[in-house]
């Protein structure tokens, strides 16, 4: 799997056409839009990936740090810049954040991935509450002048153990956005878990140390920051360029009811009066290359061709459409199968690829999504107008489909009946966005055979229609009825006493179900061989020297810090001493080697290494710190070589 990183989902027609060509040449002819606003190509042969990477760069596309233990794609509300409710456009802030952390030494080898999101308004459509860092734009007036800033949410996450983010700041000035984020990442890099992968996210570090102590550690890091303030260039992005047709197309709508539904559910007026945005429902987020090529000229004709957005629910958003163009745009979209109404409605299900491409997938999440959408279209057609109930499905507990943040969520599982295993779905209810940084994680209700997924929806929708009160939203109805009510409601569907042969065959499959879990498609794999660590330390030395020569003092210092940590870790492992956090490595090296006299240092190792957050990142300190790191690496390497010679004597 090759993941193309699209900061805040921004995509041009030119880039879309490039990706269509590349998926035909190197992959499967399909572009998969993700909940992280990326685009994925699947089944790319490893030997051809360098060639693919170089061709991506021709149209300013990158895969750098779209996977692995680093800052992942920075997401934002797709409506940023056109949202009628937004205080200001967060797109430049997300872009500046993306540029700042790309290839930044502080986040190249963290214990786990790190996710950042910007919502455009208090509606919080970027889910700030489930990110390591989530930002919501705010404006206040000081001395008669408008001051921009952000409400900051810290250390949220979904996955197997979901956590709602903590409030870090009600209002953080815009020029402190990047300095604060850098300080947070530095703390996570040093103190975050590295061995137990399931405990290596920042939410667990915050749980261990507490919010007050975490913020204290963040404050300590400020001395070492490259920039104490970082003014954001609000004009860093090119303006969207609307299409201007010479004449208005004359169109006769052949399906007026569908067009009216599309207008109500897929179209809204931008904050720029007289301009409209159009949202495209892309089932499963999959768009074939030929479809992308058919879409491209339509976008060029009617919308801003340089600024489409991939949406968090795996769709596309087009900007700057004139109202008089809407009938023609709908007609052309509908002709290629992209004019379906119900964008981001109950009938627009979000689903990760699941067992189709990911080794972590337990049971199917894609074919069942298609079936659930079919059931709603045929049996509950009015649900295309419902935007209160969201349905999200993941193939496993890890929540790439964001099932925990939905009013109705499912994740893949399995059940046993006798000696046989059958595919199952864990049902969750009551999750979703509350707004302004507040969210809800769905409660686990019951596990049912996967083939009964459509009946779960029937039971819930029918009961909601029958028993909800006037004007009652779904989560209000859920809270009033209570968790046990829904357990009892769905309990008949969980029974394994009435299974049929089809219950043992997963959606989209022909043969019997089996579970086979491996490494996930986006997993960052770590190889902690001693020789590799020492090689990496030597590599960091050269990077530190290069950064110093280029007057990039903060970068040089962080690379020197990495030399200390990598070298110490290698020596600890050579003596069969388990390593965990970077902070633990520092402490253990003192305990086992400095205090015992094996390694001779001018001070204890901790004091030597943590000069990093005691000094300004200037030329003098960068030079001395690199020299100390180099001397340390040389001494430890020599001691290790001597030990190896003695072992083989």
Give 530-647's CATH code, choosing from 3.40.47.10, 3.30.70.580, 1.20.120.330, 3.20.20.140: 1.20.120.330
Give, in words, the CATH class of 350-504: alpha beta
Res. 429: pLDDT tops 50: yes
Confidence band, pLDDT 50/70/90 cuts, at residue 526: very low
Q: Quote the pLDDT of residue 516.
A: 60
Q: Quote the pLDDT of residue 645.
A: 82
Q: What is the pTM of this model?
A: 0.93
Q: How many CA atoms, within 13 angstroms, populate the side-chain half-sphere of residue 547?
A: 26
Q: Quote the pLDDT of residue 622.
A: 97
502 vs 153: CA distance, rounded Å: 45
Exposed, middle or buried: residue 443 (CB in 10 Å: 0-12, 13-18, 19+)? middle
587 vs 583: CA distance, rounded Å: 6
3-state secondary structure of 60: coil
Res. 20: pLDDT tops 80: yes
Q: Which pLDDT tens digit goes with each residue over 276-285?
A: 999 999 999 9
Res. 339: pLDDT tops 90: yes
94 vs 97: CA distance, rounded Å: 5
- How many residues are listed for the chain in this entry? 649
Which residues make up the CATH 3.30.413.10 domain(s) of the chain? 350-504
Res. 471: pLDDT tops 60: yes
Which residues make up the CATH 1.20.120.330 domain(s) of the chain? 530-647
Q: Quote the pLDDT of residue 362.
A: 86
- What mean pLDDT do residues 55-83 have? 93
- Greater confidence (418 vs 150) lies with 150
Q: Which pLDDT tens digit goes with each residue over 534-592?
A: 888 999 999 999 999 999 999 999 999 999 999 999 999 999 998 889 999 999 999 99
Element (H, E) at 25: helix 13-26
- Greater confidence (172 vs 58) lies with 172
Q: In the 3-class helix/strand/coil scheme, how is 616-649 assigned residue by residue?
A: CCCHHHHHHHHHHHHHHHHHHHHHHHHHHHHHCC
Helix intervals (H) in 80-176:
91-101
- Greater confidence (509 vs 305) lies with 305
Lowest mean pLDDT across 54-58, 223-227, 304-308, 615-619: 54-58
- What mean pLDDT do residues 445-453 have? 96
Strand order in the sheet with 308-310: 10-11, 308-310, 316-321, 276-280, 267-269
Res. 461: pLDDT tops 90: yes
- What mean pLDDT do residues 397-401 have? 87
| Percent with pLDDT over 70 in the chain | 98
Q: Quote the pLDDT of residue 368.
A: 95
623 vs 611: CA distance, rounded Å: 13
Distances from the Cα of 552 to the Cαs of 105, 302, 387, 431, 618, in angstroms? 11, 45, 49, 45, 9
Q: Quote the pLDDT of residue 649.
A: 66
Q: Which pLDDT tens digit goes with each residue over 594-645?
A: 999 999 999 999 999 999 999 999 999 999 999 999 999 999 999 988 888 8
Q: Which pLDDT tens digit goes with each residue over 472-495?
A: 999 999 999 999 999 999 999 999
How does the average pLDDT of the chain come out, rounded? 93
Res. 515: pLDDT tops 80: no
- What mean pLDDT do residues 434-438 have? 97
3-state secondary structure of 63: coil
- What mean pLDDT do residues 22-46 have? 95
459 vs 408: CA distance, rounded Å: 12
Q: Which pLDDT tens digit goes with each residue over 156-197?
A: 999 888 999 999 999 999 999 999 999 999 999 999 998 888
Confidence band, pLDDT 50/70/90 cuts, at residue 527: very low
Q: What number of other Cβ atoms are within 10 A of residue 609's Cβ?
A: 27
């Amino acid at each position: 799997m090759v993941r193309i990183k699209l900061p805040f989902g921004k995509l041009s027609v030119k880039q879309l056409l490039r990706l269509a060509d590349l998926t035909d040449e190197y992959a499967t002819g399909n572009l998969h839009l993700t909940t992280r606003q990326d685009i994925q190509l699947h089944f790319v042969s490893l030997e051809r990936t360098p060639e693919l990477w170089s061709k991506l760069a021709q149209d300013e596309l990158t895969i750098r740090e779209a996977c692995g233990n680093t800052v992942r794609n920075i997401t934002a509300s797709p409506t940023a810049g056109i949202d009628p409710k937004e205080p200001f456009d967060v797109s430049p802030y997300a872009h500046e954040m993306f540029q700042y952390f790309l290839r930044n030494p502080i986040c190249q080898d963290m214990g786990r991935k790190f996710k950042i999101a910007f919502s455009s308004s208090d509606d919080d459509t970027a889910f700030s509450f489930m990110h390591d860092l989530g930002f919501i734009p705010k404006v206040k007036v000081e001395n008669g002048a408008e001051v921009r800033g952000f409400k900051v949410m810290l250390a949220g996450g979904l996955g197997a153990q979901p956590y709602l983010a903590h409030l870090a700041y009600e209002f953080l000035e815009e020029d402190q956005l990047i300095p604060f984020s850098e300080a947070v990442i530095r703390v996570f890099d040093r103190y975050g878990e590295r061995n137990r992968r399931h405990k290596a996210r920042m939410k667990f570090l915050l749980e261990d140390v507490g919010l007050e102590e975490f913020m204290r550690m963040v404050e300590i890091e400020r001395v070492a920051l490259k920039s104490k303030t970082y003014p954001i260039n609000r004009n860093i992005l090119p303006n969207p360029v609307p299409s201007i047709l010479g004449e208005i197309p004359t169109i006769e709508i052949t399906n007026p009811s569908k067009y009216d539904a599309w207008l109500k559910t897929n179209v809204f007026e931008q904050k720029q009066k007289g301009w409209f945005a159009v949202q495209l429902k892309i089932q499963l987020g999959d768009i074939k290359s030929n479809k992308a090529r058919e879409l491209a000229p339509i976008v060029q004709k009617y919308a801003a061709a340089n600024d489409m957005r991939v949406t968090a629910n795996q769709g596309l958003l087009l900007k700057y459409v004139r109202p008089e163009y809407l009938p023609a745009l709908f007609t052309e979209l509908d002709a290629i199968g992209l004019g379906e109404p119900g964008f981001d409605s109950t009938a627009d299900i979000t689903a990760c690829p699941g067992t189709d491409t990911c080794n972590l997938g337990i049971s199917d999440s894609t074919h069942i999504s298609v079936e659930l959408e079919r059931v709603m279209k045929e049996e509950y057609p009015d649900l295309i107008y419902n935007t209160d109930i969201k349905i999200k499905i993941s193939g496993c507990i890890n929540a790439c489909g964001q099932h925990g943040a939905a009013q109705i969520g499912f994740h893949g599982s399995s059940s046993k009946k006798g000696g046989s295993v059958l595919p199952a779905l864990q049902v969750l209810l009551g999750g979703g966005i509350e707004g302004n940084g507040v969210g809800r994680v769905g409660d686990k209700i019951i596990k049912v055979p996967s083939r009964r997924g459509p009946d779960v929806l029937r039971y819930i929708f029918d009961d909601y229609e029958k028993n909800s009160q006037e004007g009652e939203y779904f989560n209000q109805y859920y809270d009033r009825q209570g968790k046990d009510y829904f357990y009892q409601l769905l309990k008949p569907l969980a029974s394994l006493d009435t299974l049929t042969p089809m219950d043992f065959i997963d959606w989209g499959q022909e043969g019997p179900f089996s579970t086979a879990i491996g490494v996930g498609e986006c997993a960052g794999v770590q190889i902690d061989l001693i020789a590799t660590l020492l090689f990496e330390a030597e590599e960091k030395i050269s990077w530190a020297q290069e950064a110093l020569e280029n007057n990039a003092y903060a970068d040089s210092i962080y690379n020197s810090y990495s030399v200390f940590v990598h070298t110490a870790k290698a020596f600890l492992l050579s003596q069969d001493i388990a390593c965990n956090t970077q902070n633990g490595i520092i402490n253990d090296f003192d305990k086992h080697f400095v205090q015992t006299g094996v390694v001779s240092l001018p001070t204890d190792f901790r004091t030597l290494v943590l000069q990093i957050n005691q000094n300004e990142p200037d030329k003098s300190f960068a030079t001395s710190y690199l020299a100390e790191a180099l001397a340390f690496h040389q001494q430890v390497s020599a001691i290790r070589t001597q030990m190896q010679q003695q072992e083989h004597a």
